[in-house]
């Protein structure tokens, strides 16, 4: 038997900079996993001085790194899960190498359905999991060779759910074949701006109809819209070319890059649906509802869109509906409130900005951390905490369980780092009748119960609440605290 059948070596040079590293993959028949050898230092080792240590770096921190301890490294390309990244790099090369004679990996793998399914499932788990950006991007890159483009996240699933709900839409695209799709101008403006008719006016409350040219391939357009809403699309090779043309025309850069199967740039971030773009001055005129916080004593407030001088936030019903079943029902209920363009939200201005951020990014902004948090005075810390308690209380009413859990996590971690806030938090939570939160805060106060009692801090508190803390303190000491 020829030696080559037994032993196959693929040498890879890094795509980013051929000085960085090379890998050798040895595929030996009968062995389930290829052997991978490093040949050079990895990027992280070479650049460690420049990027700072990752959170779990096993190296002692230098004084320079200590000075930037509040600097948050948001992108973790290859620090995290480095070995996984190299394995994926190797796999990407294998996929390219093995299928270079065939035009499509797809066709090849169709003959091996079960292998393909297992491979795809694993890659999808990496792509949408909590791995570093490098492995996630490479998993997506390999998947794009198999017909799956983009990333699946909560925001995309949320928007896709609302997309399928025609009652939310403010525009209808009419296809040449007689069918059509109900869409939202704000999503088109953010994701594929050239699909919008020129001179798009302000919100008018009616559904605008746009007839599409017969030159536009309907299936490609449907796929493009799917990607616009969800950030993810599955495309058969027969539609690929038409979709590429359309994506180029519609300036959907992210999709176009994926369709062209370009290698991810080293260090590039995970592409996201950039919904906050809808809140920028250029696109804010698509907004159709105003959120108004509780009375505030804010000195001055300037809005770029209207002349109102009290704090408020211009938002989009469609996006609010997508994240909150309660608002979705409210907007379509036909009740008086559903037609109002102002919606009062019982949270402070700080709370409202965090809430809006959640609706547009599907992420609750975190309070300042590190030295910035430590250096904040108690009032400022309390203001932060109050914002989260208010949102927590609101989620009970608006039925937003995920957001509520996120709030609880933030509140408890704040209390963890500043126990002195627990009494105020207990008062605050009690005023909102949030008893689960009161109990959790009481548990945080338990270890310093005697200190609190002696300093007289408990005197202002309701007897019932003091009892609660005392009980928690007794339990704490019984558990050997």
Q: What is the DSSP letter of 173?
A: E
Using the contact rule CB under 5 A, the part of the chain among 218-226, 303-311, 339-347, 380-388 near Zn ion is 303-311
Note whether 131 and 84 are within 8 A (CB).
Answer: yes
- Got the DSSP string for 307-364? ---S--EEE-HHHHHHH-HHHHHHHTS-SHHHH-SEEE-SS-HHHHHHHHHHHHHSSP
Q: Which of 28, 70, 83, 329 binds Zn ion (CB under 5 A)?
A: 70
Q: Contact between 306 and Zn ion (CB under 5 A)?
A: yes
| Phi-psi region at 168: left, alpha or beta (left = phi > 0; alpha = psi -120 to 50) | alpha
Q: For the chain, what's the residue count?
A: 481
Note whether 345 and 352 are within 8 A (CB).
Answer: yes
Nearer to Zn ion, 66 or 111 (CB): 66
Shortest spacing between CB 70 and Zn ion, in angstroms = 3
Shortest spacing between CB 279 and Zn ion, in angstroms = 11
Tell me how crowded residue 260 is: count the other CB atoms within 10 A of its CB: 12
Nearer to Zn ion, 355 or 448 (CB): 355
Using the contact rule CB under 5 A, the part of the chain among 61-69, 81-89, 162-170, 316-324 near Zn ion is 61-69
Shortest spacing between CB 64 and Zn ion, in angstroms = 13
Q: Which of 10, 303, 361, 412 binds Zn ion (CB under 5 A)?
A: 303
Q: Contact between 370 and Zn ion (CB under 5 A)?
A: yes
Beta-bridged to residue 38, according to DSSP, are: 23
Using the contact rule CB under 5 A, the part of the chain among 40-48, 75-83, 298-306, 316-324 near Zn ion is 298-306
Nearer to Zn ion, 307 or 478 (CB): 307
Using the contact rule CB under 5 A, the part of the chain among 196-204, 306-314, 443-451, 471-479 near Zn ion is 306-314
Shortest spacing between CB 341 and Zn ion, in angstroms = 11
> Cα(197)–Cα(10) distance, rounded to whole angstroms?
51
Torsion sign over Cα 102, 103, 104, 105: positive
Q: Which of 69, 207, 214, 380 binds Zn ion (CB under 5 A)?
A: 69
| Phi-psi region at 208: left, alpha or beta (left = phi > 0; alpha = psi -120 to 50) | beta
> Cα(371)–Cα(222) distance, rounded to whole angstroms?
49
Shortest spacing between CB 308 and Zn ion, in angstroms = 5
Size of the site for Zn ion (CB under 5 A): 7
How do 208-211 and 171-174 pair as beta strands?
A: parallel
Shortest spacing between CB 375 and Zn ion, in angstroms = 9
Q: Contact between 305 and Zn ion (CB under 5 A)?
A: yes
Using the contact rule CB under 5 A, the part of the chain among 22-30, 62-70, 264-272, 320-328 near Zn ion is 62-70
Using the contact rule CB under 5 A, the part of the chain among 349-357, 370-378, 416-424, 455-463 near Zn ion is 370-378
H-run or E-run covering 139: helix 133-144
Q: Which of 35, 207, 371, 474 binds Zn ion (CB under 5 A)?
A: 371
Note the residues at the interface with Zn ion (CB under 5 A): 69-70, 303, 305-306, 370-371
């Amino acid at each position: 038997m020829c030696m080559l059948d037994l032993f196959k070596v693929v040498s890879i040079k890094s795509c980013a900079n051929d000085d960085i590293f090379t890998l050798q993959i040895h595929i030996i028949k009968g062995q389930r996993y290829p052997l991978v050898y490093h040949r050079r230092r990895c990027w992280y080792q070479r650049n460690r001085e420049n990027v700072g240590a990752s959170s779990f770096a096993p190296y002692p921190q230098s004084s320079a790194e200590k000075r930037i301890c509040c600097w948050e490294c948001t992108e973790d390309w290859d620090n995290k899960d480095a070995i996984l990244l190299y394995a994926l790099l190797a796999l990407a090369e294998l996929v390219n190498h093995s299928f270079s004679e065939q035009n499509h990996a797809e066709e090849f793998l169709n003959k091996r359905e079960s292998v393909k399914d297992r491979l795809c499932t694993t890659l999808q788990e990496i792509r949408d999991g909590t791995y570093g950006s490098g492995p996630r991007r490479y998993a997506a890159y390999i998947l794009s060779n198999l017909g799956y483009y983009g990333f699946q996240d909560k925001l995309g699933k949320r928007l896709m759910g609302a997309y399928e709900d025609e009652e939310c839409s403010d525009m209808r695209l009419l296809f040449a074949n007689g069918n059509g799709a109900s869409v939202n101008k704000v999503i088109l403006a953010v994701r594929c701006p050239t699909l919008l008719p020129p001179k798009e006016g302000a919100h008018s409350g009616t559904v605008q109809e746009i007839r599409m040219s017969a030159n536009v391939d309907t299936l490609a357009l449907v796929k493009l819209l799917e990607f616009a809403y969800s950030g993810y699309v599955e495309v058969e090779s027969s539609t690929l070319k038409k979709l590429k043309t359309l994506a180029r025309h519609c300036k959907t850069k992210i999709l176009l890059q994926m369709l062209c199967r370009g290698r991810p740039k080293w260090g590039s971030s995970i592409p996201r649906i950039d919904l906050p773009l809808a809140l920028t001055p250029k696109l804010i005129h698509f907004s159709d509802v105003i959120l108004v916080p509780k009375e505030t004593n804010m000195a001055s407030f300037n809005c770029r869109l209207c002349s109102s001088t009290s704090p408020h936030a211009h938002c989009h019903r469609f996006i609010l509906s997508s994240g909150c079943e309660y608002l979705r029902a409210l907007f379509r209920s036909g009740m008086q409130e559903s037609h109002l363009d102002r919606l009062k939200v019982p949270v402070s201005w700080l709370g409202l900005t965090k809430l809006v951020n959640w609706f547009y990014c599907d992420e609750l902004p975190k309070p300042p951390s590190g030295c910035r948090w430590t250096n904040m005075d108690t009032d400022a810390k309390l203001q932060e905490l109050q914002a989260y308690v208010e949102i927590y209380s609101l989620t009970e009413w608006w039925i937003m369980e995920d957001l509520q859990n996120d709030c609880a996590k933030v509140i408890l971690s704040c209390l963890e780092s500043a126990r002195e806030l627990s009494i105020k938090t207990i008062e605050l939570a009690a005023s909102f009748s949030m008893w689960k939160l009161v109990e959790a805060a009481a548990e945080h106060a338990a270890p310093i119960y005697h200190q609190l009692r002696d300093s007289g801090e408990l005197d202002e508190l309701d007897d019932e609440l003091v009892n609660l803390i005392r009980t928690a303190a007794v339990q704490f000491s019984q558990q050997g605290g």
